Amino acid sequence: MTTYYSEEHEWLTVEGDVATIGITQHAADQLGDIVFIELKDEGDGFAQGDDLGVIESVKAASEVYAPVDGEVVEANEILAENPAALNDQPEADAWIYKIKLSDPSQLEELMDLDGYKEFIG
């Protein structure tokens, strides 16, 4: 299992042709107390860079961007009921989507953990 990071502060953990996507702890910390998340539906397709939903906090609203092309296989329904879970475990139980990858070669454009740590300084 390999984890990748985007410049928009999303992480992806890949197993086979399915990736789990979420926001990083850094992103959750920047947003503050999260109060709402808009989720796409199972079966929705998207292209790299597309808007995958909106996370609203007491401080701001922020889009979640698709780091790769794919299709939503599952949305984390826990977040619909408890969006604040993103503050507690954004890189664990509070994942946002499981997606089927359309073009796994796009993963090569993303960062590893060391690259991400350097990116956020």
Q: Is the pTM of this model over 0.85?
A: yes
103-118 residues labelled b (16+ CB within 10 A) or e (exposed): eeebeeebbeeeebee
The Cα–Cα gap between 43 and 73 comes to: 6
pLDDT above 90 (res 86):
yes
Secondary structure class of 47 (helix, strand, coil): coil
Confidence band for 84, pLDDT divided at 50, 70 and 90: very high
The predicted-structure confidence for 44-82, as pLDDT tens digits, reads as follows 999 999 999 999 999 999 999 999 999 999 999 999 899
The Cα–Cα gap between 87 and 104 comes to: 29
At a CB cut-off of 8 Å and minimum separation 6, what does 34 contact?
28, 55, 56, 57, 83, 84, 86, 87
